[in-house]
Structure 1
Amino acid sequence: MKSRGLLSVLTFSEKRKGILFLLEEKPRTLSEIREHFNVSSPEISPRIKEMQTSNLIRKDEKRYHITPMGKAIASHYRPLLDILATIEKNESFWNEHTVEDIPPHLLEDLAQIRGCEVISDSIENIYESHKIFADNISKSNYVKGISPIFIPTYPDFFTSLAENHVPTSLILTENVFFKVATEHRGKLQFFLDSPKSELYVINDVKLAFVVTDYFFSLSLFYENGSYDPRSDLVGYDESSIKWGEEIFEYYRRRSRRIVSL
């Protein structure tokens, strides 16, 4: 069968796709397949026959099994479905912003943050998400993040983290670092003097995020280069936090550390 026909076997039928993944778990009898999908034999049997013809599944005396070819296809097909589901879940967020500064290998692994949800503020209260940010930080045992934008409350906020001995690692862009060093020099030096604080500077980056042991939050820029302060992608699951940790390490390795002014 041509690959185009084989692709249609799975993409044009939710039942065929479901059968493939069901038998990937373990062999099943016809009655078990029917029970899983809550359908009758006349409804499911044609789908099973099509998959047998395509060498995706086979049948012994009692049960249906996934074939080696079926396993190979399932191992590649599931990640595709996962990343599509991740994008579709928050489609407007991904479509409206530039993602060019998300590291390529992590953009390819976008399904890891499928548990994230978009938190959007109204135009009348664009900093509501920052209240959620502060609340989540208060529940965290460490903080890592990148900031390409300056928010007036942040110098006091991160000084308080240093005062409370919360391990904190920040990456600022050159422009933000210059502004903080110029206008909040004392607070910045206090942060640098804290034994549990680290500061890095990078030339430029078009994304902002924070990751802790409790949550992950990502905000992006529009295609025209302006920052979107109203929408944050937030997740609390282990997979999202791990993805965020990997972004931080990617940019930390490309930054220079500041130890004093």
Structure 2
Amino acid sequence: MGGIIIESEFFNGINNLKDFNMIRFLIASELRLKLLLSIYKSSKSIKELELEFNKKSSNISRGLNELKEYNLITRLPDKKFSITSSGFLLVENLDHLMINFENIDKKSEFWENHTINSIPNKFLKELSLFNDSTIIKSSPMEFSKPINVYLKNISQSKDIFMILPIYSKIFMDCIYDTIINHNGYLDLITTKDIFDLIIKSDSEKYFKSLVRNKKINYYLVEDIANIFFTATNTFSSLFLFFDNLVFDNSEMFFIDDENLVKHAIRFYDSYKSYLFE
């Protein structure tokens, strides 16, 4: 069986022994690496992996169990195996050898503390754009700092693209003001339940009025990823959920780099196309 050669420069900047040992564990076995990369692309059953790699069930099972022990994959209720936050981060590092590992490592705790299971695998890779973001956190002195930073930047925006799995009247009122004051536009993906809450709480009928004036375009779906994602002409942000599906408003990924903001808008368009393909 052929080996896999990775240049020594790959390990530059890795000063965390746990990270180093995990990478060494992964690349020590060609089958383990292939299994992880396959599951990274899409969730797979043991049978599908057997056919893909033409290996015995016992070999596949052993490799999967080893990856599970390192919390790189998890088994879903439908018996398929899916990538975890840790596995996603590790594959990102392997896939992008030129990315500064130290930079990803700074964000790893954020990903690992939240659930990403509802995000389609094909889009996890695209969310790596937030590896170059700033993490805005609550503090004892500024408990609402992420929300305040978000609202300030929304109020200075014009065109807004949003994946909305939660309802907040504060958010919606700020968005209405922004659209009206800046002659802006909102492109919104949400669920029927969230939409009903928006309409119910909108006593001034801003939402319906802005829809009539073609300032809001919305798309209702049965199920969306558990990410509160926003991209505008000036910034992009990302809030996630804890494993118990409780929304976490205490931490936010934030980017205002022009190129990354464009990338974020492309992510939104790609996700919208995926939902309605």
TM-score, with normalisation over the residues of structure 2?
A: 0.60
Matched, 1:200 2:199: no
Matched, 1:121 2:141: no
Question: Offset at 1:123?
Answer: 6.3
Are the structure 2 counterparts of residues 191 and 79 from structure 1 closer, same or farther at C-alpha, using a change threshold of 3 Å?
same
| Residues 157, 178 of structure 2: 8 Å contact kept | no
Question: Offset at 1:119?
Answer: 0.5
Match for residue 180 of structure 1? Answer: 198
What is the RMSD computed on CA atoms of the aligned residues?
2.9
Code of the residue aligned with 1:113 in structure 2: it is F
| Residues 83, 109 of structure 1: 8 Å contact kept | no
Q: In 2, distance between residues paired with 1:218 and 1:136?
A: 13
| Residues 165, 190 of structure 2: 8 Å contact kept | yes
Matched, 1:225 2:245: yes
Q: In 2, distance between residues paired with 1:246 and 1:97?
A: 24
| Residues 215, 236 of structure 1: 8 Å contact kept | yes
Code of the residue aligned with 1:232 in structure 2: it is M
Are the structure 2 counterparts of residues 146 and 126 from structure 1 closer, same or farther at C-alpha, using a change threshold of 3 Å?
farther
Q: In 1, distance between residues paired with 2:264 and 2:176?
A: 23
Q: In 2, distance between residues paired with 1:13 and 1:178?
A: 51
Pairs aligned (count): 193
User: How do 1:1-261 residues align onto structure 2 when only pairs under 5 Å count?
Assistant: 3=3, 6-7=5-6, 9-11=8-10, 79-82=96-99, 84-122=101-139, 126-164=143-181, 165-184=183-202, 186-205=205-224, 206-253=226-273
Q: In 1, distance between residues paired with 2:102 and 2:270?
A: 25
Code of the residue aligned with 2:228 in structure 1: it is A
Q: In 1, distance between residues paired with 2:259 and 2:120?
A: 17
**Which blocks of at least 5 consecutive residues in structure 2 are unaligned?**
14-92
**Which blocks of at least 5 consecutive residues in structure 1 are unaligned?**
15-75, 257-261
Question: Equivalent pairs: percent with the same residue?
Answer: 22
Question: Offset at 1:209?
Answer: 1.2
Code of the residue aligned with 1:172 in structure 2: it is T
- Post-superposition CA distance 1:118-144 (Å, at most 9, x none): 101136754322221122123323111
Question: Offset at 1:156?
Answer: 2.1
Are the structure 2 counterparts of residues 86 and 108 from structure 1 closer, same or farther at C-alpha, using a change threshold of 3 Å?
farther
Q: In 2, distance between residues paired with 1:111 and 1:255?
A: 20
Higher relative contact order (CA 8 A, sep 6+): 1
Are the structure 2 counterparts of residues 242 and 103 from structure 1 closer, same or farther at C-alpha, using a change threshold of 3 Å?
farther
Q: In 1, distance between residues paired with 2:227 and 2:12?
A: 38
Are the structure 2 counterparts of residues 252 and 7 from structure 1 closer, same or farther at C-alpha, using a change threshold of 3 Å?
closer
Rg larger in structure: 1
